[in-house]
Amino acid sequence: MASGASKWEVVKKGKKPNISSSSGGKTQEKKSGRKALSEANTDSNHVMSETIFDGFEKMGKKQNKEQVPPPIETQQKKPNAAKQTKKPPANSSGKPARYKTLEEAVRALDVLELKQQLEKSQSLFPENPSVWVKDLAGYLNYKLPFVCLDYPYCLAGKELRAVIRNLLGKCSEALPEFFDHCVFTMLREQDRQPGESLHGYRMCIQALMQDKPQIVTLNLADHLELLRSHQNRPVKCLTIMWALGQAGFYDLSQGIRVWLGIMLPVLGMKALSAYAIAYLERLLTLHANLTKGFGIMGPKEFFPLLDFAYMPKNALSQSLQEQLCRLYPRLKVLAFGAKPETTLHTYFPSFLSRATPNCPDAMKKELLRSLTECLTVDGQSLSVWRQLYTKHLPQSRHLNKYILQIYFEFRFKGLFLNVVNLSFQLLFRCFTVCHACVSHQSLQQKMRGRGFPWWRMLMMSLVFVAGFVAHDVRSQGSFAGSTTALCLKRSGVTAVSQQAWSKASHCGQQSVSWLAENMPHYYSRALETTAPLLEDARERMKVTALFLAQRSAELWLWLQENVPLLIQWVQANTPQSVFELLEYVKQLLLYVQERVLVPSLQYLSAALQSVWRSLQESCDGEVSLHCLQKHLRSFTNSTWIYLQDATSAAKSRAQELLSRA
């Protein structure tokens, strides 16, 4: 039928066959893409068809009715058509027979019929391999309608497995879409009939994961979004997690990626946590060699697991938390990787920040043990601890106590072998170095710490005394009649100061007369002595200047030759992000200039203008020295009155307190 299809003529009718799979061809394959995840919102209120193959046969019959064969081949095609019309389709008998166990159904599966159906599908759609694998899954799911078992693919015989693998090998490009189709179809069938069998799709997923487990991790983000969209439907969520988790049974690295990307984000959900932890336990138990899983888990994924395992009253139940605690050592090995001596210092800050005094005892013990391991294995952890010592001082104190405790405990028990001795000596050195660092920092803080501000107090006292004297002189009109002069005169300071001033003036006059007489003589003597030295120094300076000029000329030529090359090298080796950063800084400076500096200057100018106008108004339109003196006098008077009021209030308060005492 497929061989002669190119010679037939098509007769158009009013009705077109409403079979979505009859379009076929490359156009459908290009437009479809990976439809499985996008079809999750389609209408699912349909009755499940008998099988996809019934649709194929009906479509073939309709094509036979609608196509008129050439007259030469009419007699040859009629017997075949009669045979096809007389022979009923293989799966037209409603529902398939029921079997007691899945093993019986797998043994009763007709592999020859499966081959015929697949050959028919390949002949009808020779250029659409995605339809072939979908037909395979639909046929197997239709033929295995039983209670769901965990691993249906292990019950398949060698011949059935060979057929499945052979077809999957031919459709390598369509396998990602096929996986999404199986997952989506399982979800859709759960909406239609909750008790409907899904073993065929499960078997296809397991067969696909056995050869191509990396298909699961190609689009984990979309699968996580699909899982979250069904978070109110635990059965669907478990179906998605089961399908994605099959990759881990054949490849540890893919299983860890699936668990971290799909199951860890939903670990706090009660309906899904048990399956997630059970899957993790089975994954780590199945793969005894964890080396293939190194390099996948980092601090970002490891520390949420630590919190789930040891933090009390979290989203996990006590039994699940204990189960996760039992798995924690193997997770720790996966996180630290193949070379812990180069990676443990990246875990040290998070370990240290969690070791607080209020931390639970079990978690604190594990954190201190992990911190000790970081310090003994990775040498860079010591420098990290030095930087974080003062920031996390309580945690560092607990770690110091723990180091000293285990150091002296092992030393007391006499268990110091060579390796253990070296490790704990290193820990003890860490303790002494960090303790000395903190002591030095505290000493520097004490040395830099401010004592009593004597200098500031002295300056404030001088300013206060100067203001008091100025106000006293201004109020009395002259210094001689001021209260300050009267106090100085009564205390004898005026007489002593006058006597000292007379002596100082007499000595000054004698010094000036001596300089006038002897300065020319000593100047000539000094000039005769220093003239040769100055001449020699000038010659040396000339030689030095010439030498520097020559050297600078050579340096200038070298710079002229090499600076452009250096600029070109910098431009060629500087990342584009640096230039983008400079451009951002330039834009930021322009923004600050336009939005901050210019408005601030305008505001300051307006404020100064308003102050000047108010000053002019207060001075009757003309600002003069007399007006400024008047304003200054009023300000001084108000300040003096305030000081007098404050002093009198303080004096009265002190007298009141003394009288009460």
Q: What is the DSSP string of 94-131?
A: SSPPP-SSHHHHHHH--HHHHHHHHHHHHHH-TT-HHH
Decide if 44 is inside a domain: yes
Amino acid symbol at 299? P
Residue 571 predicted with pLDDT over 80: no
Nearest 5°: the CA angle 646, 650, 652 is 115
- pLDDT value at 310 more than 50: yes
* pLDDT tens, position by position, 334-367: 999 989 999 999 999 999 999 998 889 999 999 9
- Alpha carbons 322 and 34: distance in angstroms, whole number: 41
Residue 396, pLDDT > 80, answer yes
Q: Is the pLDDT of residue 438 over 70?
A: no
**Domain endpoint, select from 211, 236, 258:** 211
Last residue of a domain, one of 538, 558, 573: 573
Instruction: Write out the H or E segment, with its range, that includes residue 20.
Output: none
Per residue in 448-490, pLDDT (tens digit) is 555 667 787 888 888 888 888 888 788 877 777 788 888 888 8
Q: Which domain holds residue 552?
A: 464-573
The whole-number pLDDT of residue 33 equals 41
Q: Residue 435: which residues within 8 A CB-CB, separation 6 or more?
A: 400
Confidence of residue 263 (pLDDT cuts 50, 70, 90): very high
Count CA within 13 A, CB hemisphere, residue 4: 16
Q: Mean pLDDT over all residues of the chain? A: 78
In a domain, 540, yes or no: yes
Q: Which of 131-140, 340-349, 489-498 bottoms out in mean pLDDT, i.e. has the lowest?
A: 489-498
- Point out the domain boundary residue: 548, 573, 598: 573
pLDDT for 449 equals 54
DSSP 518-587: HHHHHHHHHHHHHHHHHHHHHHHHHHHHHHHHHHHHHHHHHHHHHHHHHHHHHHHHS-HHHHHHHHHHHH
pLDDT at position 18, please?
41
pLDDT in tens, 505-541: 889 989 998 888 888 888 888 888 888 888 889 899 9
On whether residue 601 sits in a domain, the answer given is no
Of 81-95, 358-372, 574-588, least confident by mean pLDDT is: 81-95
Closest listed residue to residue 16, CA positions, set 49, 59, 47, 51: 59
Residue 661 lies in a domain: no
pLDDT tens column, 191-248: 876 666 788 888 899 889 988 899 999 889 999 999 999 988 999 999 999 999 999 9
Helix (H) / strand (E) containing 266: none
- How many domains, the chain? 2
The pLDDT score that the predictor gives to residue 306 is 93
Does the residue 319 lie in any domain? no
CA distance 454 to 460: 10
> What is the average pLDDT across 385-394?
85
More confident residue, 584 or 41: 584
pLDDT of res. 434: 56
For residue 85, what pLDDT band results from cuts at 50, 70 and 90?
A: very low
**Reduced DSSP (H G I as helix, E B as strand, rest coil) percent helix, strand, coil of the chain, to 5:** 80, 0, 20
pLDDT (tens digit per residue) in 14-60:
434 443 333 344 334 433 444 444 444 444 444 344 444 444 444 44
Q: Pick from 129, 8, 144, 125: which is nearest to 56 by CA? A: 125
For residues 234 and 268, the answer to whether their CB atoms sit within 8 Å is no
Give the range among 173-182, 345-354, 423-432, 571-580 with minimum mean pLDDT. Answer: 423-432
Kindly state the average pLDDT of the residues 561-580. 81
Q: Is residue 317 part of a domain?
A: no
Residue 604 lies in a domain: no
Q: What average pLDDT does range 155-174 have in this prediction?
A: 86
Task: State residue 441's pLDDT score.
Answer: 53
CA-closest candidate to residue 206, choices 173, 235, 179, 166: 179
- Taking 50 as the threshold, does the pLDDT of residue 72 lie above it? no
Q: Please check the confidence at residue 415 and state whether its pLDDT lies above 50.
A: no
- Cβ count within 10 A of residue 133: 25
Query: Given this model, what pLDDT does residue 329 score?
Result: 92
What amino acid occupies position 462?
A: L
